[in-house]
């Protein structure tokens, strides 16, 4: 498997990634800004939906 090439990428994925290893905590720190952006967009979406979409209460 030394010469395995994956599909159209033309890369040899049998070697380790050239990126430095990071700890679990460092990976969360790196993902922090992106996670905050997702939360901000979600909150904005909920606020817009509550303001502009009115649903009739269900009667049962």
Domains in the chain: boundaries:
10-53
Residues 11 and 27: their CA atoms lie apart, in Å, by 25
Cα of 18 vs its chain's centroid, Å: 22
Task: Tell me, letter by letter, the H, E, C secondary structure of 26-60.
Answer: HHHHHHHHHHHHHHHHHHHHHHHHHHHCCCCCCCC
Instruction: Please report the pLDDT score of residue 18 as a whole number.
Output: 76
Segment 23-52, tens digit of pLDDT = 999 999 999 999 999 999 999 999 999 988
Half-sphere exposure of 14 (CA within 13 A, CB side): 6
Indicate if the pLDDT at residue 13 is higher than 60.
yes
């Amino acid at each position: 498997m030394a010469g395995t090439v994956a599909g159209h990428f033309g890369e040899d994925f049998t070697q380790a990634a050239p990126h430095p290893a990071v700890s679990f905590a460092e990976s969360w720190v790196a993902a922090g800004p992106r996670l905050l952006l997702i939360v901000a967009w979600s909150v904005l979406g909920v606020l817009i939906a509550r303001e502009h979409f009115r649903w009739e209460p269900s009667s049962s």
